[in-house]
Amino acid sequence: MPTDPQVILTSYYRFKPGGYCSRLRRALLALLQAGHEVHYLALEPFPLDHPRCHFHRLPWFNRHGDSLAFWAWLHAMAPLLLAWLAVRRRVTRCFAFGASYGAILRIAARLRRAPLTVFFRGDPLEHHRLAGRPDWLVRAEHIVEAIALGGSHARFVSQTLAERVAGRHPGARPASSGVLPNDIPRCPARRADSTPGSLRLACVGTFDVEKNLGLALACLGELEDGYELHLFGTGPEETRLRALAASLGVARRVHWHGWVADPERVWRGIDLLLFPSLREGSPNAVLEALACGIPVLALRVDELAEILPASTLAPDAPGAWAAKVRDWRNRLADVAGEQSRYAMRLNYDWDRAVVDALISPPTHGSSGQSSGQSSG
């Protein structure tokens, strides 16, 4: 097991609000606090000030990088830039959040004979399909995923994702494979007392098609006065969702808060989190709600069944969701307690597990053990 400080290389195009980048920042901080040196390639600096953390600018004509041209350029040029950085900085470890970045770090890792750890945080192929993206893009993502998986130390955010990715690439064998779910964080806020006569429902996260927020609005439409919905976040679906709220006649009971950086402002005013997402890994919003003793009503999908008991999941039907909300209204604390007990295994030192997975990956052919789970 290496005890000397390591020189680590990673890349992510730009820091954005949300759980994904919050986890990436947390992983970087854990590595820095463990005494390692980090270099990263990005469009602009991350909100991370540390003497051993070094930003390297990814050349592009603006700071957004959301166009198809940018992504084509990234996959063509970033591998060469990262290879140059790896040699120049004498990199000893590489890691990536996501298959795309695992693929573009592949050349750098091989040049330096540095172990590459790829944290598979979600399923971009399913995301593309849900968003109606063209088939050629899904096929391209499939190839990128195989490149990232083969020979790397793969860590998946859920057992469901591990099995799905392995099933798609029977010929791409990782050096090791394990499950590293998100942990339950400390509660960021103390809940305020409920407003008499009103139950505060909420959705937290990016407004995109995968989040399926129309189901939460339709659920509110099935509920009588005395229920209100608070939406925390922004995204490409916001205009459509506002129109849907108006058409359902619930606009006056929907509160749009935008993106809120302070967790206390989010969680202290919520009675029940609605989480209708169609596809997830190990969602931070759900885990933060559990940490604060806030019950969660979520869609019945395999990933969330790893976190929440089956009795607290519901099908994709507004009437079923409204019935659950009514049933839970006078026993929210009991539901929250049941969910917290079920998710108890997620109370572990995620920061240390990330450092161990990256700095001391198992030997080739073994299976990485993370938070009591492994695969492969």
Average pLDDT per block of 10 residues along the chain, 376 residues long: 83 87 94 97 95 95 80 93 98 97 97 96 86 89 96 96 95 95 80 68 92 96 95 94 97 94 85 92 89 94 93 94 95 94 93 94 53 40
> Does residue 234 share a domain with residue 177?
no
Q: Is residue 82 part of a domain?
A: yes
> Does residue 113 share a domain with residue 244?
no
Residue 372 tokens, joined: 């009591």
> Does residue 178 share a domain with residue 70?
yes
Calpha distance 3→66 (Å, rounded): 39
> Does residue 173 share a domain with residue 240?
no
Calpha distance 121→281 (Å, rounded): 6
> Does residue 353 share a domain with residue 342?
no
> Does residue 247 share a domain with residue 177?
no
Q: Is residue 204 part of a domain?
A: yes
> Does residue 209 share a domain with residue 62?
no
Q: Which amino acid is at 128?
A: H
> Does residue 146 share a domain with residue 243?
no
Instruction: Specify the pLDDT at position 37.
Output: 98
Q: Is residue 376 part of a domain?
A: no
Calpha distance 361→240 (Å, rounded): 45
pTM: 0.86
Report whether 181 contacts 346 (CB < 8 A): yes
> Does residue 245 share a domain with residue 329?
yes
> Does residue 165 share a domain with residue 208?
no
HSE value, Cβ hemisphere, 13 Å, CA-based, for 228: 14
Q: Is residue 251 part of a domain?
A: yes
Instruction: Specify the pLDDT at position 261.
Output: 79
Q: Is residue 318 part of a domain?
A: yes
Instruction: Count up the domains in the chain and report the number.
Output: 2
CATH number of the domain within which 61 lies: 3.40.50.2000
Instruction: Specify the pLDDT at position 193.
Output: 55
Domain that holds residue 304: 199-346
Secondary structure (DSSP) of 14-82: ---SSHHHHHHHHHHHHHHHTT-EEEEEESS--S---TTEEEEE---SSS---SHHHHHHHHHHHHHHH
